[in-house]
Amino acid sequence: MQLYNTLSAEERAIMIDDAGKQRLTLSFYAYAKLEDPKKFRDDLFVAWNALDALGRIYVANEGINAQMSIPEENLEAFRATLEVYDFMKGIRLNEAVEHDDHSFLKLTIKVRDKIVADGLNDDTFDVTNIGVHLKAKEFNDILEDPNTIVVDFRNHYESEVGHFRNAITPDVETFRESLPIINEQLQNHKEDKNLVMYCTGGIRCEKASAYFKHQGFKNVYQLEGGIINYAKQIEAEGLESKFIGKNFVFDNRLGERITDDIISQCHQCGKPCDNHTNCENDGCHLLFIQCDECKAAMDNCCSAECLEIVHMPLVDQVRLRTGKQVGNKVFRKGKSESLKFKHSGDLPNTALATAEKPVEIRQKIKVKKVLLGKAEHYYVKAKVGQFTVENHELNIGDRILISGPTTGDQELVLDKMIVDGAVTTTAKIGDKVTFEVPFRIRLSDKVYKIVN
């Protein structure tokens, strides 16, 4: 019985593209008392692996927290695997605002002490005695009440790119840090104010609302389904969005746009920007905001030090990070003195710029294609892209497709390419090849050969 992944992310990406099936990105959570989380975990893996479901899921004695990608055609079969359990019958599945076939490339289900690290002693209060759930219209209405205090229970890197207007945005790196801060800050308003809270999908607020009711707050409310569900409802009902900017998400997309407002800046140059990335140096991997120009100039690095490191031989890079605890932490969220335009804490309610019209992010698989490799660099002035060939050969005359969440799907016919400084007609696996690209590419882009 298979209980763990046997394919790499790269192999899975190829399989997804070859299958040509539309996938949905969704999330859900449920608090429950599980007697055997390990067995629950294994049963879920077997059921979901059979449906080609991927994602990052945590299970614990207190329930389940899941962010997933599934083939659209398997949605009802997937729901059926949830209905087997009484505590997940009729559970709400939060579908992403923007879908991406590559949002998750592995099925990872981990048993944890808690489904959300909160630092709370749950035995001291009733976790089921939660606040009042508000739908989008109700949430908008209560925000107009002068007796309302709205609190963002996400972390600084999330609220920086998007938040509700006039919300308290704690300058914290973990959910557990925000609870005592807000409790102390609002001690004098336990009875006279509406404490209204929100988070990405609702799971943090679910327990936080019970915690604050236990602390003596009389009027506690939470946004039902979080920002994800709010975005769906305001679109369906034609409501004004009180949320501005982007909603940070914990998958390969790193964000989904709610409004066209850009409220944050590139951490390196200060240009209006809200695109998160991870530092290319595997010994750092810092999560930060970087514009396309800085991405090209800095080779996706957060600092001059990291830029120097990524240009070292791989053996030297490995030696430098050996024994360091920060290595390869994909969502390392710490701040850095190198990032001059990082903002957190008290954040603006006005836009710095307006985002360009978003490209349809869900891949439309209209042609048969095979993965060749990935983008490595883009030379802005020369309009030249550099790519690493990882699978198959690339030849002059090939039709290729460059695809990514922001770039979309762009086709071109290869009429000239360079490998190791020389013009060539064929590039083999392992070659770094450069050629003109009449549009901007990103380091998250993949390059495919069209074969039909």
- List residues with catalytic annotation: 199
Cα separations in angstroms, 143 against 123, 137, 151 = 32, 10, 11
- Spell out where 324-393 has E strands: 353-354, 369-379, 384-389
In sequence order, which residues have a C-beta less than 8 Å from that of residue 435 and are 6 or more positions away? 384, 385, 414, 416, 417, 418
Phi-psi region of 225 (alpha: psi -120 to 50; beta: other; left: phi over 0): left
Using alpha carbons only, give the angle 34, 106, 441 rounded to the nearest 5 degrees. 140
Are 261 and 130 in contact, with CB atoms under 8 Å apart?
A: no
How is 47-91 classified by DSSP, letter by letter?
Answer: HHHTTT-EEEEEEETTEEEEEEEEEGGGHHHHHHHHHTSGGGTTP
Query: How far, in Å, CA of 190 to CA of 184, rounded?
Result: 11
- The distance in angstroms from the start CA to the end CA of the chain is 37
In sequence order, which residues have a C-beta less than 8 Å from that of residue 247 and are 6 or more positions away? 97, 162, 200, 227, 228, 231, 255, 256, 257, 258
Name the one residue in this structure whose structure tokens are 């508000």. Answer: 134
Q: Please count the CA atoms within 13 angstroms of the CA of 346 that sit on its side-chain side.
A: 0
Name the one residue in this structure whose structure tokens are 């039909």. Answer: 452
- Backbone dihedral angles phi then psi of residue 70, each to the nearest 5 degrees: -135, 150
Cα separations in angstroms, 445 against 92, 366, 404 = 32, 18, 4
Tokens encoding 94: 């939060």
Cα separations in angstroms, 266 against 160, 270, 293, 315, 321 = 11, 5, 10, 31, 27
Are 265 and 271 in contact, with CB atoms under 8 Å apart?
A: yes
